[in-house]
Structure 1
Amino acid sequence: MSPALDDADQSFMQLLRAQPDATIAGLCQAAGVTATAVRQRLSRLQSLGLVTRVTIRTGRGRPFHQYQLTNAGHRVLGDNYAELALLLWDSVRQIEDPAIRNEVLGRIRNRLAARYGGGGSGSTLEQRMTALQQSLSEQGFQMEVGSRDGLPLLRERHCPYHELAQADAGICDLEQQVYEAVLGVPLVLTQCCRQGQGICEFQPQITPLQ
């Protein structure tokens, strides 16, 4: 998922893309703002991993800095995949042969489980859930671990597949299967953004003693 950027961030990054070796002075001139404003914007984008600073040394003069978009920054500017994702998901769901369709969906589930579950594991469900929450948060998901009736639960504050979910609830089933594969326990989706409840909440189908 992409980091939250406002219009000013996007415009500033467009300037950086147009000036691959931008300096503070050059950005001030291009944006028509003060050096302080430019430095604040650069600092914010650097903290998000979207901009990097390169130190240039020439002869005996003082070194100076140039600023460039990172690969992540370039991806964000080109991050307009919603329509493509909808088309790809629809194509998968329309595969007529159930065995082939399930095979494709299974591969997607396994790839996602490997991606989100690769950050660590734990001997208890709560430890595994915390590791999953941390992995998802690093991907930009708004996740937290809570508890109810002595059991940990996973709470998602913003649906990462909003447009897909509005078109087809099957993506919710896939997401649940991914989390089940990572955690090693069956889950129940007790609340769902798609149903207007504001959050998605996944609760394990086990007793506290298990």
Structure 2
Amino acid sequence: MKSMPDTSNGTAADGRTRDRVARLLLELGPSTAVTLSAHLGLSPAAIRRHLDAMLAEGTITTRSARNPAPRGRGRPARVYQLTAAGHAAGPTAYEDLATSALSFLADVAGQAVVAEFAEARAAELERRVRAAVARADPADRPAALAAAMSAAGYTASASQLPTGVQICQHHCPVQHVAEQFPELCGAETAALSRLLDSHVQRLATIAHGDGVCTTHVPLETRESQRPEDDHDRAAPASSGPTASDGSATSAGPAVSAAPRSAPPVSTPTATSLTSSEGPVI
């Protein structure tokens, strides 16, 4: 297989490559960088960059090959293998079991049962993070939600854009199952909408092949959660002169200065929404 340069950029792409390395180590057992690069189609130097990062994370370890082949001069061959933490975090046969179980349910009881399961799973995520989101001010809730989801294993972040806030999930615990059952993604999106008490738009998903799961919280929705601003803008202006007792007069001297009109409220124009870390789906 022809070796290709490492074109990954950013946390999401690097994470996907390292997931593939972990899968290979599960399938092949202890392997050299040359073996891994041949299977993935990347150069040994590119693979070593990912292996060094995985060593720092503690998901793999390295040792000298027990029966090294003659190499001539240079360093002895080293092999890489998953640690206990790497086995726990990496893909396992449970993914295949979960997919098979949902397929069986769909065949026996219908697709509606799969949707019901997806909603129950999303409700459990909602229960786990609700308190952290509720404690935050409305404007800070997307960031609070991202932090709570990171603690739940989603490696999420929130970023401010001119059109609103984007919540990006760099890891999906059910990625391979959701590839066959998109109901899981739909139920999760509905849960995020309930947690933020606003309309949200899912722009990209890892299950569909994108680098991250991207959820957009539109700006106009977040502004509607700040009623105090609307109250300040709605202060009535005087319509004319009044008598000393406060009642309106039918006629009176000309007012020397016209009442200052409220500044116009700008309405956000429709813009095309794109994911900052992945293509729009």
TM tier, smaller: 0.5 to 0.7
Mapped partners of 2:153, 2:170: distance in 1: 11
Considering fraction of residues, name the structure with more strand.
1
Instruction: Go from structure 1 to structure 2 and tell me whether the alpha carbon gap of 1:92 and 1:116 turns closer, same or farther (over 3 Å shift).
Output: farther
The aligned counterpart of 2:124 is: 111
Where in structure 2 are the equivalents of 1:88-127 lying within 5 Å? 88-94=101-107, 95-96=109-110, 98=112, 102-122=115-135, 124-127=137-140
The aligned counterpart of 1:186 is: 199
Mapped partners of 1:170, 1:78: distance in 2: 21
Mapped partners of 2:181, 2:114: distance in 1: 15
Contact 1:180 1:186 in 2 (8 A): yes
Contact 1:125 1:152 in 2 (8 A): no
TM-superposition CA deviations, 1:154-173 (whole Å, max 9, x none): 01223332211322322221
Q: Which amino acid aligns with 2:166?
A: L
Q: Does 1:135 align with 2:143?
A: no
**Aligned to 2:184, what secondary structure does the other structure show?**
helix
User: Which of 149, 160, 165 does residue 173 from structure 2 map onto?
Assistant: 160
The aligned counterpart of 1:197 is: 210
Instruction: Go from structure 1 to structure 2 and tell me whether the alpha carbon gap of 1:111 and 1:196 turns closer, same or farther (over 3 Å shift).
Output: closer
* Structure 1 residue 92, shift from structure 2 partner: 4.5
Contact 2:164 2:217 in 1 (8 A): yes
Where in structure 2 are the equivalents of 1:69-88 lying within 5 Å? 80-88=93-101
Q: Greater Rg, structure 1 or structure 2?
A: 2
**Aligned to 1:153, what secondary structure does the other structure show?**
strand
* Structure 1 residue 208, shift from structure 2 partner: 4.4
Q: Does 1:172 align with 2:185?
A: yes
Mapped partners of 1:135, 1:123: distance in 2: 11
The aligned counterpart of 1:35 is: none
* Structure 1 residue 122, shift from structure 2 partner: 3.9
With normalisation by structure 1, the TM-score equals 0.54
* Structure 1 residue 74, shift from structure 2 partner: 9.5
* Structure 1 residue 120, shift from structure 2 partner: 4.3
**Aligned to 1:202, what secondary structure does the other structure show?**
strand
Mapped partners of 2:123, 2:134: distance in 1: 16
Q: Which amino acid aligns with 1:155?
A: C
The aligned counterpart of 2:35 is: none
Mapped partners of 1:194, 1:74: distance in 2: 22
Mapped partners of 1:105, 1:159: distance in 2: 14
Mapped partners of 2:132, 2:163: distance in 1: 25
Contact 2:201 2:215 in 1 (8 A): yes
Across the aligned residues of Structure 1 and Structure 2, the Cα RMSD in angstroms comes to 3.7
Number of residue pairs the alignment of both structures matches: 151
Mapped partners of 1:163, 1:97: distance in 2: 18
With normalisation by structure 2, the TM-score equals 0.42
User: Which of 127, 152, 161 does residue 148 from structure 1 map onto?
Assistant: 161
Provide structure 2 residue ranges, at least 5 long, that are not aligned to the other structure.
1-17, 26-54, 60-83, 225-281
Mapped partners of 1:113, 1:96: distance in 2: 25
* Structure 1 residue 144, shift from structure 2 partner: 0.6
Mapped partners of 2:207, 2:221: distance in 1: 27
Contact 1:150 1:208 in 2 (8 A): no
Mapped partners of 1:115, 1:82: distance in 2: 22
Instruction: Go from structure 1 to structure 2 and tell me whether the alpha carbon gap of 1:84 and 1:156 turns closer, same or farther (over 3 Å shift).
Output: same
Question: Structure 1 vs Structure 2: percent identity of aligned residues?
Answer: 17
Q: Which amino acid aligns with 1:143?
A: A
* Structure 1 residue 146, shift from structure 2 partner: 0.8
